[in-house]
Amino acid sequence: MRCMLLGRKSLRFMLAVVVAVGINCFEALAARPVARISGSIAASYDGSVVARFGDAEMNIATLDAHCYGGRFEVEVPVEQTTEVMLCAGGEVLARLLVAPEQKASVEFVDGVPHFAGANAEINSAMNNYLRKMNFRSFTPSYRVELAEQFVAVLDRSIEIERGRMLRELGDAPALLQRWAESEIRYRNAGYAVEYLRRNSLTDSVSTATLYDKSRFPFDHDELISTDYVEYVANVVRDSYIECDRLVGGLRAQRDYAGAYVAAIERVAKTCSSSEECDMIGTMLLNMSISDTRSPFAEVMELIHDRQLLSDEVIARFDAKRRGRADMRRFTEHTFERLLAESRSKVIYVDVWATWCPPCLREMKHLRKMEKRLENESIEFVSLCVSSPYAQWALMVDLPDNRAANYWLDDRAQAELDRYIRVRSFPRFFVLSGGEIVNDNVQWPSSNKLIDLILRGYVELLNQSRNE
């Protein structure tokens, strides 16, 4: 990849190309043909421009260069007609269809893309369609209690979407119409899986109701959900926690949506051209994961072999988790009891949320800290707030988790606010001598410093008890 020097005014940006594939693993980058994209963006813009292929992401190259006057030219490795998203500041600037050995260009005027070169007509039609469609307005509410109610809302949404799609793309090329139809189909399949996942503990959910064949083109047990990609494509900092979440996610997908890989193969067989396959490829699973680090190896091997986790594999993970963590619900008497217990020991409290990246980073350090101080008169307590119960349970139920883990619902959080108000995460504080002695203490990642502080509180507590 390269960035050409084509103007006068200085503009520095990074162009990171990330690729996601649905069926085939990556070939060597050097062996792939390229498409060339050129264009211009506002000269006043200063930041990163990202090219994305597909629904999930994977870095294959990074460019850091000087461009001038807002102009750029980039070579994108593709094997067939591919949809590329140009993004900046977390927003999609434009989408283009590019093909090997072809040239496409886009000029941004007042934020609106103007296309030339290969596929210019289709690119213009696609971006006009996407600008007019407000997909957020079609996202259903997951709070309805009955599956029948959710299905009624979903069916109505699909009907409205398809009607708008036909009005907007009635004269558009057939390939673009098929892309839009697939986008509606798979996005709503993802909504159905998400509803089932969120309501899996209720008796009102019926998979037969959610996955009716008249709603989607494939059997109900072969639907593809973008929710699944979260468990397969993302790698968080603590691989052990992620592996545990991965297994739980795979179990849910196996139980609720069935053979996803079979859907990939069926979709591929229904395509009459490579372009069609690539157009719907953004909705397919990422089968190119190659991380073999422990403890991912066994799970990744199964994914590479296009198999879902067997009952035996899940049973082994369940056996490892069974009875490992101390998991409790926070009640109106919990904090009073903790204060009472702190008269005889120091309690280090962690307030966190499952969606908080710094919280997950500190969790790894907290596990190490628990082991370092296991012989001290120190208890570790973890309070999870503003988070789904099922996700919390999956993340804390680990073999090396020595803390007392509490999940707080809205009422419990209000109870906690009576003693300490926490509005940023993570938050760590210390209980000792029946009171809060430090309401914002150092994080576990401070290592020796936090060890020294806690040992100091233990010494002070012992002195006060001996007086």
Top pLDDT among 109 and 385 is at 385
pLDDT band per the 50, 70, 90 thresholds, residue 238: very low
Task: For the chain, give the mean pLDDT.
Answer: 67
Give the tens place of pLDDT for each residue, 399-408: 667 788 998 9
| Mutual angle of helices 297-304 and 239-256, in 10-degree steps | 40
**Residue 39 in contact with residue 99, Cβ under 8 Å?**
no
Higher model confidence: residue 180 or residue 297? 180
pLDDT of residue 429: 96
pLDDT at position 144:
60
Average pLDDT, integer, range 186-203:
64
228: pLDDT strictly greater than 80 = no
- Which two structure tokens, joined as six digits, stand for 81? 């007609």
pLDDT digits (tens, 9 = 90+) for 41-72: 765 455 556 666 544 333 323 333 334 456 77
Of 113-122, 126-135, 260-269, 449-458, give the lowest mean pLDDT range: 260-269
* Lowest-pLDDT range of 297-301, 336-340, 353-357: 297-301
The pLDDT assigned to 123 comes to 87
> Sheet of 112-117: strands edge to edge?
71-77, 34-40, 103-109, 112-117
Would you state the pLDDT for residue 256?
A: 43
Domains and their CATH numbers in the chain:
10-132 (no CATH), 135-319 (no CATH), 326-466 (3.40.30.10)
Question: pLDDT at position 364, please?
Answer: 84
> CA–CA separation, 426 vs 398, rounded Å?
19
Per-residue confidence (pLDDT) for residue 76, from 0 to 100: 75
Residue 125, classed as helix, strand or coil, is: helix
Q: Supply angle C-alpha 460, 461, 466, rounded to 5.
A: 100
Judged against a pLDDT cut of 90, whether residue 346 lies above it is answered with yes
188 against 399, higher pLDDT:
188
Determine the pLDDT at residue 347: 96
Mean pLDDT across the stretch 207-221? 50
Cα separation, 210 vs 212, in Å, equals 6
> Which stretch of 173-182, 205-214, 361-370 has the lowest confidence by average pLDDT?
205-214
Give first-to-last CA distance, the chain, whole Å: 72
Listed range (46-60, 92-106, 291-305) with the worst mean pLDDT? 291-305
The enclosing H or E element of 316 equals helix 311-321
Q: How many CB atoms lie within 10 A of CB 136?
A: 6
Helix (H/G/I), strand (E/B), else coil: 222: helix
Confidence at residue 289, expressed as pLDDT on a 0 to 100 scale: 33
Predicted confidence at residue 174, as pLDDT, reads 76
Among 46-55, 119-128, 343-352, 442-451, the least confident range:
46-55
User: What pLDDT was estimated at residue 115?
Assistant: 92
How far apart are the C-alpha atoms of 6 and 8, rounded to whole Å?
7
**Three-state DSSP class for residue 109:** strand
pLDDT tens, 239-283?
334 445 555 555 555 554 444 445 445 555 555 555 555 544 444
Structure token digits, residue 54: 């597909």
Model pLDDT, residue 400: 66
Confidence of residue 309 (pLDDT cuts 50, 70, 90): very low
- Of 260, 399, 215, the C-alpha closest to 320 is 399
Convert the pLDDT of each residue in 390-439 to its tens digit: 778 777 866 667 788 998 988 888 889 999 988 888 999 999 999 999 99
Between 305 and 372, name the one with better pLDDT.
372
pLDDT of residue 377: 92
d(Cα 411, Cα 451) in Å, to the nearest integer?
33
Say yes or no to pLDDT of 185 above 80: no
- Percent of the chain whose pLDDT exceeds 90: 16
Q: What is the pLDDT of residue 434?
A: 94
Looking at the predicted structure, is the pLDDT value of residue 454 above 90? yes
Highest mean pLDDT among 86-90, 232-236, 257-261, 435-439: 435-439
Burial class (CB in 10 A: 0-12, 13-18, 19+), 417: exposed
pTM for the full model?
A: 0.38
Each residue's pLDDT tens digit, 8-35 = 222 222 222 222 222 233 333 334 577 8
Residue in this structure with the two tokens 């600008």, named with its chain if needed: 131
